[in-house]
Chains A and B, each alone.
Chain A
Amino acid sequence: MAFGAFANSGPDLSAAAPRRRSYVAIILLAPGVVYLLATFVAPLVSLVLTSFKEPGGDFEVGEYVYAFRWENYAEAIGRFGEIFLRTFGYSLLATILALLISYPLAYFIGVTLRRFPLWQSLVLILVIAPFFISFLLRTLAWKAIFADEGPVVSFLQAIGILGPEDYLNGTAFTVIFGLTYNYIPFMTLPIYTSLERLDLRYVEAGGDLYAGPAQRFWRIILPLSLPGVVSGTLLTFIPASGDYVNASKDFLGSTNTVMAGNVINDMFFQSFYPLSAAVSILLMIAILIPVVAYVARSGSEDLL
């Protein structure tokens, strides 16, 4: 049930399927299994092996041999512990912000615009439109907008919100802004899909049973669109916590906003492969724990 959040909760047929069919099922599943083995399991095994490697015999930079050097992990946690926390904090904030922006937007498209299918498609295209421009270019454009001499900073300085020496680029603000901005479509689309199917007769029934607008939202609309919210938050949180573009100093970040993705990137290009691999594994575990807890909770029967 845990990952039911991703599926259109259909009936669980697997348990009831007669034994005879399992043979067909295996054949049908084979391509998927092969694909998973090739693209997920194999790199993962390689990554784990790399993360325990130690420097090779000649002690040249970039030469490593297979070993069991668990100190790589100790080093990763010791040196980058703070960065892990920051990564988690930034991604979480970006996810929450994206949710707060996306839900009303998705509601507007999926419910309010229901009677105007043409407008519905148009606004939906607008949500996806940013994808037509390269992710890197869009992020660079924001860097220009937030530049020290740029319009936003000048304006905020003029009205006194920012001091004359203050700036935006390279701060937590711009990084979280970039993350939120870049992942909003991933949040909006699954929520839209859920809300578009929402049967408004349930909402009417709620009104008939003395629920005011707030109660109708919390007790009926939100629970019924929860699958979309769960998929959307996962599709935002997971890639955001691995993101290394927004927080990079070439884009919206600085040395003060380094995220785990940047560390992996930097260590890799400086040829510290085992350390880079260890950070990757740690990041994966660090993401997996809250995600599994979240999915398990939202998939459980008595969430609300």
Chain B
Amino acid sequence: MAGSFDESGADLELVGVTKRFPGFTAIENLNLTIPAGSFFALLGPSGCGKTTTLRLVAGLEEPTAGRILIGGKDVTTSKPHQRPVNTVFQSYALFPHMTVLGNVEFGLKRRGISSARELAHEALRLVELDHVAGRRPAQLSGGQQQRVALARAVVNRPALLLLDEPLGALDLKLRRQMQLELKSIQSEVGLTFLHVTHDQEEAMTMADTVAVMNKGRIEQMGAPEELYELPRTTFVANFLGQSNLFTGDVVSTEKDSMTVDIAGLGIKVPRERAQRHAGEVTIGVRPEKLTLHTAKPESTAGVNILGPGTVIDVSFTGVSTQYLVQVPGLPVLTVFAQNMVFGPVAEPGAEVYVSWRVEHGFGLADEPEPEPKFAGDDDTRTIAVQRRQRLEDELDEA
């Protein structure tokens, strides 16, 4: 590969990869195939093993078990400098003793590419930093350093580019701009991108395929819409956007749908959108699929209705309004409603009903836990509201 660029991206294949640190399993039996030329996003909470996965692919960490293949070639035992891979490190790792230009040229020079200097300037122009080419990394802002790190990796046109939260330090405008830049570099050159982020919006807008990772495993993988519309696990349902989740027993099964007993109400879920079809199951629906009614709606086929409930919180977010609705016997429901009229349609304390179309529901694969699941139980607002509710209840009793 010396002296030339890779013609195009390469497949990346992880086969049964496990990584154990002393006393801690960071990656558990990871199987993953990323087709050449695709933009793959690895999404997950902090500490779930994203950086470790990238380090394994880059060769900076050795897997405890399993194999890693790039472009069909087994690279499990190759050293980092022998792999056609470049990384944008989470901590940038710009060489402090070299200028910005020196940093960007570094990889090209090691591969003996003759026009290293021009290519480096070109890459710096791409990230709009050519005017600081002569500076040291310490003389740049955090966001500028991040862009240099990006240029330093992209300039090598590797078959596989690993990006470890490459846009985390940028402001929103620059971030959008860099996202577009990255996307166009990727499609122009046909490189394979493995992009790690914990910004779900970034993952969804940029990637062809998103994998949601949790505790060293991939929970679900697929196209962004597919992942959003049909989450398969509680973790995915809550991590990727918000969800209203309910747990109950399957009471009957029809041709296309099944009915689940939720607090005495029969809620229907399409059979092909449910992972489990018997026993106790967790089902859910996205908040924006819910419709709020101030009077009990007519029960029609193909529509689920919950209620009556009480609005306990209303928050206006501009394009939409978020309502929290307490239906007795159920976890707090979140409803997103488009602001079609001025002002909220219901005030806190109002009695409301909630409905949604059966085909918008989904059924999850995990065994329901003893406690009922709360929608977005890591969402601070929900927790605050629940806590306030409990306090008020206590006051009422006293």
Which residues of A are at the interface with B, using a C-beta cutoff of 8 A? 199, 201-202, 204-212, 215, 219-220, 223-224, 304
Q: Is B323 an interface residue (CB 8 A)?
A: no
A208 touches B110 (CB 8 A): no
Chain B residues within an 8 Å CB radius of A204: 60, 80, 89, 93
Known contacts: A210-B111, A211-B110, A224-B96. The answer to whether A205 contacts B81 by CB under 8 A is no
Which residue of chain A has its CB nearest to the CB of B80? A207
Chain B residues within an 8 Å CB radius of A219: 106
B80 touches A220 (CB 8 A): no
Known contacts: A201-B91, A215-B110. The answer to whether A208 contacts B80 by CB under 8 A is yes
B111 touches A205 (CB 8 A): no
Report Cα–Cα, A304/B106, bound state, in Å. Answer: 13
Main SS at interface, chain B: loop
B97 touches A205 (CB 8 A): no
A223 touches B97 (CB 8 A): yes
Report Cα–Cα, A80/B156, bound state, in Å. Answer: 59
Q: Is B150 an interface residue (CB 8 A)?
A: no
B96 touches A202 (CB 8 A): yes
Q: Is B143 an interface residue (CB 8 A)?
A: no
Chain B residues within an 8 Å CB radius of A206: 95, 106
B110 touches A207 (CB 8 A): no
A209 touches B86 (CB 8 A): yes
- Minimum C-beta distance from A228 to chain B (A): 13
Chain B residues within an 8 Å CB radius of A223: 97
* Residues from 97 to 115 in B contacting A, C-beta threshold 8 Å: 97, 106-107, 110-111
User: Ordered nearest first, which 3 A-B pairs have the shortest CB separation?
Assistant: A209-B107, A207-B80, A205-B93
Report Cα–Cα, A205/B152, bound state, in Å. Answer: 10
Selected A-B contacts with CB under 8 Å, 27 pairs: A201-B89, A202-B93, A204-B60, A204-B80, A204-B89, A204-B93, A205-B87, A205-B89, A206-B106, A207-B80, A207-B81, A208-B81, A208-B86, A208-B87, A208-B89, A209-B81, A209-B110, A209-B152, A209-B156, A210-B107, A210-B110, A211-B81, A212-B79, A212-B81, A223-B97, A224-B96, A304-B97
Give the contact-size bracket for chain B. Answer: 20 to 34
B81 touches A210 (CB 8 A): yes
Report Cα–Cα, A199/B86, bound state, in Å. Answer: 19
Which residue of chain B has its CB nearest to the CB of A216? B81
Chain A residues within an 8 Å CB radius of B89: 201, 204-205, 208
Chain A residues within an 8 Å CB radius of B86: 208-209
Which residue of chain B has its CB nearest to the CB of A222? B97
- Minimum C-beta distance from B109 to chain A (A): 9
Q: Is B56 an interface residue (CB 8 A)?
A: no
* Residues from 349 to 370 in B contacting A, C-beta threshold 8 Å: none
Beyond the given A210-B107, A220-B95, please list 15 additional residue pairs across the A-B interface where CB-CB is below 8 A: A202-B96, A204-B60, A204-B93, A205-B93, A205-B94, A206-B95, A206-B106, A207-B59, A207-B79, A207-B81, A208-B58, A208-B89, A209-B81, A211-B110, A212-B79
Chain A residues within an 8 Å CB radius of B60: 204, 207-208
Chain B residues within an 8 Å CB radius of A210: 81, 107, 110-111, 156
Of B59, B91, B107, most buried by chain A (CB within 10 Å of CB) is B107
